[in-house]
Amino acid sequence: MDHTAIDVAHMLAGGMVLVSFMLLYQDRMFGLLNVFALHAFVLSLSVAWQAYIQNAPHLFITAFIALVLKAIIIPVALHRVVVRLGIHRTIEIIGGVGPTMLFGMGLVALSMVVMLHATATADPLAREDLAFALSVVLLGLLMMVTRRNAVSQIVGFMSLENGLILAATGAKGMPLVVEISVAFSVLVAFIVIGVFLFRIRERFDTVDVEALEEARGERL
């Protein structure tokens, strides 16, 4: 495999790690949704590139699903949810941005070491992409753990799932990739619909404007 192909694949996978860090940095709801759309867009580019260099045309379908569903439909839907339910527009980050980013760096270092050590005999392109994918998964988990707000936790879960898809497409010849990605997308779509239907505004003790105002008795 020639070097340009490997370099572009690394660039896109590294770009996903970078966008995961950008997700961790956001503290405003709409900014978060826009960056998540970028995350899904980079995922679709990466999957499309893998489809091209592995000569696996079924991966193009996965790329298309990622692009349409995750980069366009879900962010727009979540945007509507946020506006309709009046969810608090700023995101509280437990521990502050600085320590979260430092911890994220540590997680990336950990996943590099673990993946590269464990797969010492495998194909170099695949193992490095897997290392990046594990980083994206861990950063998505970190995001879920350090946020108080339900929508940001959903976004964290979706970014984690993007990392899984990146891993699945990076490993050459993995079966049922398209089916798995469709299944995950359906799962996420149901979660979003659930939030919308059941008006779940909070998981932990978060402050939501309308709840506060009801408690204070200013609204009925």
Shorter beta-carbon distance to another protein: residue 17 or 69: 17
Alpha helices in the chain, H assignment, sequence order: 3-25, 29-54, 58-65, 74-85, 97-118, 124-145, 150-170, 177-198, 209-216
Residue 1 binds another protein (CB under 8 A): no
Query: What token pair was written down for 204?
Result: 């932990």
DSSP category for residue 149: B
In the bound complex, what is the minimum distance in angstroms from residue 58's beta carbon to another protein?
A: 27
DSSP string, 11-56: HHHHHHHHHHHHHHH--BHHHHHHHHHHHHHHHHHHHHHHHHHHT-
> Of the ranges 1-9, 28-36, 50-58, 148-156, which one interacts with another protein (CB under 8 A)?
1-9
Distance CA 112, CA 106 (A): 10
Q: How far apart are CA 134 and CA 7, in angstroms?
A: 19
Residue 113 lies near another protein (rule: CB under 8 A): yes
| Stretch of 45-53, 109-117, 177-185, 188-196 contacting another protein, by CB under 8 A | 109-117
Q: Would you say how long the chain is, in residues?
A: 220
Choices 17-25, 46-54, 80-88, 173-181 (CB under 8 A): range interacting with another protein: 17-25
CB of 171 to another protein, least distance (A): 18
Q: Rounded to the nearest whole angstrom, what is the least distance from the CB of residue 168 to another protein in the complex?
A: 20
193 touches another protein (CB under 8 A): no
Chosen residue from 84, 96, 174, 183 binding another protein by CB under 8 A: 96
By C-beta, is 86 or 96 nearer to another protein? 96
Among positions 28, 80, 84, 117, the unique one binding another protein when judged by CB under 8 A: 117
Contact present, 17 and 129 (Cβ < 8 Å): no
Q: Strand, helix or coil at 93? A: strand
Instruction: Note the residues at the interface with another protein (CB under 8 A).
Output: 4, 6-8, 10-11, 13-15, 17-18, 21, 25, 96-99, 101, 105, 108-109, 112-113, 116-117, 124, 128
